[in-house]
Structure 1
Amino acid sequence: MLWLRLPDRDEGLSIFFRPVGYYHLFKPPVAEGEDVRDMLSRAAQPFVDALLQRMQECRRLAWPAAADELLLERVAGTATSPDAVDAVAGSILEHDGRVSIEALAQGVGLSRRQLERRFLAEVGTAPKLYASLVRFNRAFRLLAADALPNWQDVAYACGYYDQAHLIREFRRFTGHAPSAYFKAHPTSPVHTT
């Protein structure tokens, strides 16, 4: 995801990419030992600068069209077809993160380590962490959709061993226990018991 905000304004524009879309559009050079986020950010900087310039020149309602135009120009300059990482990321999304990374690696003809290196370079995270994030995102959406969710049912529906496992993952990804998180974010419809 890219989030752009014009200087001195509280308005911005978010652009969401499919898991390897960012990589295929911006082709960051992979440097051993370099922070992946810094590398991905630098690779997109010319696009970001061009889009910010267009955003300053047009009304807010025209920002998505300006982004589409620049992205289509970028896509025209790339010749990519789905690859192994794209297939694995798609499978992780399709199965809500409930997958075996080893089986996915074998399914695309890569060793687990090869898949991890390529996934890290193209998606920006390891496949196992990506699957955990996808699974947690589904659980969070289920919790947010119900004013009085049954945590045990959500845990099992999302492939957690039990409610305690879900709560550990909740802390891992939000930095808070569920009750503390939802107290701090009262606009969320989720309540804890």
Structure 2
Amino acid sequence: MKPDFYAVHPALRPFVSHIMVVQVQLAGPAYSRVAPFPPTPQHSLNFYPADATKSRQGKQPFAELPACTIVGPQTTKVELAMGPQHRFVTVAFHPGGLFQLLRVPMHELLDVPLNAADILGRDISEVSEQLKAASHSLEMKGIVEAYLLRKMKPAASSPFVQAARLMMSGSTLSTIDQAAAFACLSTRQFERKAKEVLGYSPRLFARIIRFSKAYRLKLNQPDTTWTAISYQCGYYDQMHLIRDFKEFTATTPTIVAQEMRHSPLKVQDDLRM
């Protein structure tokens, strides 16, 4: 199974990275296959137009997700259990894009998946119904894109958003002070803005970027050692990497990699940020 990735309308590109569509028929009993999703720095709007998808954090019981779920800042691993007919349509936002859509302080969404209908209203429920009737990935992309074009006013990215995007791309903004200066803000102003627009402090944002890069690198280059990955991703040493894995997933890098290799849904391998 490979996801379909679609570029979006030019008016949406300051806010939206891409739209991804996954359609897969899973073998075995319903909800017996679990897919782990460690934290990423990317916010999303996720639609589940076929069999319901269930999720849990830690040792909590699985709970059914809404037909359209808002996923904001994430610092803990989530596990998804899926029915046999799995369809997944996600809007992947650039830093600040979800804030632009919702106008809700992102720190209020930290590690809390929300029912999009509670915030976005009846329109988003109508989109979910249209997706259920759609049969092709491109058709589903068009339905979601049309909704976003109605809801998101064209605007240029702010200097803060540009700085956050450069941080996520692994550019030359190697320190928080450099990112703040690029955004034309003091360090304290940059920190306040980050909590509002991204959902966490700039330092935590940078850590999640580095952590996400590390586990995805291992998935795509399984023969690369964790020591090599730790240095490639900017960790001081392997123990520094292990501490992040324990904090963000409550387990070790090796176990996370094993879980993800055996996942029935390997979206994380192809994640684009």
Q: Same fold (TM over 0.5)?
A: yes
Does the 8 Å contact 1:138/1:158 carry over to 2? yes
CA positional deviation for 1:179: 2.7
SS at match of 1:35: helix
Unaligned 5+ residue runs, structure 1? 189-193
Of the structure 1 ranges 98-107 and 82-91, higher mean CA displacement relative to structure 2 is found in 98-107
Q: Which residue of 1 aligns with 2:61?
A: none
Identify the match of residue 125 of structure 2 among 27, 49, 63. Answer: 49
Deviates more, 1:51-60 or 1:61-70: 51-60
In structure 2, give the amino acid aligned to 1:26: L
1:129 counterpart = 2:204? yes
How much does 1:174 deviate?
A: 1.9
Match status 1:171 vs 2:250: no
Aligned to 2:148: 71
TM-score of the pair, normalised by structure 1:
0.79
Query: Secondary structure of 1:19's partner?
Result: coil
Q: Deviations over 1:49-70 (max 9, x none)?
A: 2321321343353211100111
5+ residue gaps in structure 2?
Answer: 1-43, 53-85, 264-273
- Percent identity over paired residues: 24
Equivalent pairs counted in the alignment come to 184
Q: 1:134 to 1:93 in 2, by over 3 A?
A: same
Residues 1-193 of structure 1 mapped to structure 2, 5 A cutoff:
1-6=44-49, 8-9=51-52, 10-28=86-104, 30=105, 35-37=108-110, 42-46=118-122, 48-61=124-137, 62-75=139-152, 78-95=153-170, 99-187=174-262
Are 2:231 and 2:237, in contact at CA under 8 Å, matched by a contact in 1? yes
Relative to structure 1, the CA distance from residue 47 to residue 90 in structure 2 (aligned partners, 3 Å threshold; closer, same or farther) is farther
Structure-2-length-normalised TM-score: 0.58
User: Which structure has more RCO (C-alpha within 8 Å, separation ≥ 6)?
Assistant: 2
Q: Deviations over 1:109-156 (max 9, x none)?
A: 212221122122122222211111111122112211223222222111
Contact 1:93 1:134 in 2 (8 A): yes
When structure 1 is superposed on structure 2, of 56-65 and 13-22 the one drifting more is 56-65
Equivalent position SS for 1:82 = coil
Q: If each structure's strand is expressed as a fraction of its own residues, which one has the higher value?
A: 2
